[in-house]
Amino acid sequence: MRAAAFVVSCLFVLGFYGYVLTRLYQEHRRFKAQEKRLHEHLYAMEPKTKTAVAAPKTAARRTSPNGRRKETLLHIGVAIGGLIGVFAEIEFLNHLVASFH
């Protein structure tokens, strides 16, 4: 029984950390893309002649408010599940240490 609880709580914790690392990597990629567009925009804004230079058109990613709400609820659910897993792991390890004393 303890082994099963340990495995389940480990899976929760590992899943939570995997999710967090995946989100961090996605944010890193998004930041790099924005940084590249910023450099392109600033280069286009440099005055080369007296005529105005138009900024390059970029396709903005638009999500519906409903999609953002679902994504936010998913993030909250995963965060709560991960925290529950972490606390379950701590509690299990406390019981394991107490059983050895």
Tens digits of per-residue pLDDT, 2-11? 777 778 878 8
Tens digits of per-residue pLDDT, 54-96? 555 555 555 567 777 888 888 888 888 888 888 888 888 888 8
Are the CB atoms for 81 and 16 separated by under 8 Å?
Answer: yes
User: What whole-number distance in Å separates Cα of residue 20 and Cα of residue 14?
Assistant: 10
pLDDT at position 67: 77
Helix, strand or coil, per DSSP, at residue 93: helix
Tens digits of per-residue pLDDT, 7-54? 887 888 888 888 888 988 998 898 888 888 887 777 777 776 555 555
Question: Range of 90's domain?
Answer: 2-100
- The number of folded domains in the chain is 1
Angle between helices 2-45 and 65-100 (to 10 degrees): 140
